[in-house]
A and B are shown apart, each in its own frame.
Chain A
Amino acid sequence: MASIALSSVTKAYGTHKVIRGVDLEIANGEFVVFVGPSGCGKSTLLRIVAGLVPASGGQVLIDGEDVTDVPASKRGVAFVFQSYALYPHMSVERNIGFALETLRIGKEAIRSKVDTVARMLKVDHLLARRPRELSGGQRQRVAIGRALVREPEIFLFDEPLSNLDSDLRMEMRIEIARLHETLKTTMVYVTHDQAEAMTLADRIVVLNQGSIEQVGTPLELYQAPANRFVAGFIGSPRMNFGTVPVGTETGAFVLPAGLVADAAASGDRQPVSIGVRPEALSIVAADAGRMSGILERVEDLGHEHFAYIRLSDESIWVVRVAGRPPTERRNQPVGLSFADADIFVFDAEGKRIEHRAAGPTPVTDAGEGRLVHER
């Protein structure tokens, strides 16, 4: 059983800062996922936890014990790599059991442990094979088995499913979730795939340019993103954004009166932009919505459809239409309607401003406040 704590961890290569002061507490048995765009430092942070990359500053604590200067081999963590990193010259059996060979527990004990793990991961029929004779999914199972057999206190996964095709990825995702439920071990998982992050995580850590943007449960991040970055990063297709120019000239967005309660009170936190998720939008007649544009294109995925609507400022908003495909004709003006509760309001720094209508329960309201895009 192990908890992890990071305190003002930094990492720099020369003058290039990769991690800019990260504080994070991971509870015992928790499943935490690091997400972020490529180059945000999520893999580096995981490697710092593992001890594969030394931190430039700050502390790494495992179970309250400072392990910042403890080498990777002594931290008692297991690491699963995107490239699997299996030993090509060893059989699957030896790959899984290799770490046990130094423990002097005897060949029989090793074999029985390897057998248990192999059965658990359904690779028991492959034990005699070499890694190159396995499929990608089987290789990843072996790599997980190699980590599992040591019964580590902490599992670290670095994009373990990124080399698999989408069917297999979903299968392995469920497998990993099941594994966490059975073992109840602390797991830290790095991915750029938000479906993996949302489905696996107890808590998600969103990283951007070496700093934490927000930490929260998947639903918290989706419903109450702390800022524009998180709002745009979580959710697929991504949130639609529009600017709110101060003033009331034509084409400017006027928030519903009183929506942002303290807008007037705190002068430096004026609403600057808004965001609405594609699934919160619906297509209505051109003059019936809160804003309008030209329907440019519809992508049919069968169970859902994405409509791309060009607004008068040339930005394109996406509408997710579930069920039947939209009947509106292409290159014709359409209107967009959405509830006040679905509007996310951001200030000049991109921080989200709470407003009175916000909350998980949608409020149907088509009153004042329109983003006018007239042609």
Chain B
Amino acid sequence: MSAKLARREHRTAWLFLAPLVLVMLMVAVWPLGRTFFFSFTDAYLDDPTVYGMVGFANFIEVIEDPTWWNAVRNTLTFAFISVAIETLLGLGIALLLNEAIPGRGLLRAAILVPWAIPVVVATKIWEWMLNDQFGVFNRILISLGVIDHGIAWTASSSLIMGVVIFVDVWMTTPFMVLLILAGLQTIPGEMMEAAEVDGIPAWKRFWSITLPLLKPAIGVAVLFRALDAIRMFDLAYVLAASNQNVMTVSIYAHDRLVSFQELGVGSAASTWVFLLVALVAIILIGALRLDRSAGN
């Protein structure tokens, strides 16, 4: 290709990219930059134009706040347990759906339903089902004789984290199933047949062939879900508002910024959330070697 032609193609490429770059500047870079800027100020939300620069004071205030560390602990506990359960469940269901079972098409469609329901709606439904007096959940348990009076699932400080994890698993396992199923379908059938003819037992076929070949797909799914879980806001907020037992880092930042009107400290907390998400992403990408496994 001549240099002139190459230059022209280059120009065309930039032309195509320009709208996207513009949109990204507007919706991502600009707000992120503003947040970053405000985190170094003592501004309040009622009048952001009045502020003074305070250096790293806001960042220090956040990490000296025990409520923040409680939120970090909650967030990591929630993310780790829910993603672990979702991965295992997702893998199991995907393996089942990958078999030629009757009604597979219907099952595949049906399993997506929880994921298609808006988080707020699903959370409200579950909240009602788990209601201590009128909830269908308690009703079933009582009629089965497991318990003799209704349990306040969403009010009890020791149970509420479990409820949040449970509802999240119910909502997002389909996403895991979908990604892992897509990965399963890229494994050639003849390879599994070859192993079968060679007398490899089913567990070894799974452990030594399916799982290694599925690793990139599972890795991407875990990464997506983990990042989603760490910045989780809606589920816990709808279910328990600012309840300390399930307060995530996003809820903490929201409380400081919106409820307490502390634009500076809230922005600093948001920046910490951003850094936390980035850190987890880097660790996961490194641990799962997602950058390299693409070629394998």
Contact = CB atoms under 8 A, between A and B. Distances in A.
Interface in A317-371: none
A250 interface: no
Contacts of B102: none
A144 to B, nearest CB: 12
B158 to A, nearest CB: 44
Contact of A98 (B190, B197, B208, B296): B208
Nearest to A81: B190
A86 B188 CA distance: 10
B55 interface: no
Interface in A80-118: 81, 83, 85-89, 98-99, 101-102
Given A52-B193, A72-B193, A102-B204, A88 B199 contact: no
B3 interface: no
B201 interface: yes
A79 interface: yes
Nearest to B215: A89
A73 B201 CA distance: 8
A150 interface: yes
B188 A52 contact: no
A77 interface: yes
B64 interface: no
Interface in A228-252: none
Interface in B161-214: 188, 190-191, 193-201, 204, 208-209, 212-213
B190 A88 contact: no
B191 A85 contact: yes
A74 interface: yes
A85 B191 CA distance: 5
Nearest to B194: A85
A283 interface: no
A50 B198 CA distance: 11
Contact of A89 (B188, B204, B213): B213
Residues of B in contact with A, size category: 10 to 19
A189 to B, nearest CB: 15
A11 interface: no
A50 B196 CA distance: 10
A204 interface: no
Contacts of A85: 188, 190-191, 193-194
A79 B200 contact: no
Given A85-B188, A98-B208, A72 B296 contact: no
Contact of A52 (B197, B199, B200, B209): B197
Contacts of A99: 198-200
A141 interface: no
B199 A102 contact: yes
B199 A74 contact: yes
A186 to B, nearest CB: 15
A88 B293 CA distance: 12
Interface string B263-296: 0000000000000000000000000000000001
A69 B194 CA distance: 19
B277 to A, nearest CB: 31
Contacts of A86: 191
A72 B198 CA distance: 8
B209 A87 contact: yes
Given A83-B188, A88-B213, A98 B200 contact: yes
A43 to B, nearest CB: 11
Interface string B78-122: 000000000000000000000000000000000000000000000
Given A73-B200, A79-B194, 12 more contacts: A52-B193, A73-B196, A73-B199, A75-B197, A81-B190, A85-B193, A85-B194, A87-B209, A88-B213, A101-B204, A102-B200, A150-B198
Interface of A: 50-52, 71-79, 81, 83, 85-89, 98-99, 101-102, 146, 150
Interface of B: 188, 190-191, 193-201, 204, 208-209, 212-213, 296
